[in-house]
Amino acid sequence: DEYRLFSPEGSHLIVCVHGLDGNAADLRLVKTYLELGLPGAHLDFLMSERNQ
């Protein structure tokens, strides 16, 4: 159902995984831009921490 995919009532999980030579701070700016650009969206972030 297309309505469910874009419903403002739902929550969106965004998984941020940095590259081979990256660290946990690499995608924090992306997270901030998404939060500022989509203020009404219910966003949940999973930030990688283990593969550093």
Domain residue limits, the chain: 2-47
| The pLDDT value given to residue 7 | 61
Beta bridge partners of 47: 16
CA distance 25 to 45: 13
| The pLDDT value given to residue 36 | 93
pLDDT tens profile 7-52: 667 788 999 888 777 777 788 888 999 999 988 888 999 988 766 5
| pTM to 2 decimal places | 0.68
Q: Is the dihedral of CA 41, 11, 18, 49 positive or negative?
A: positive
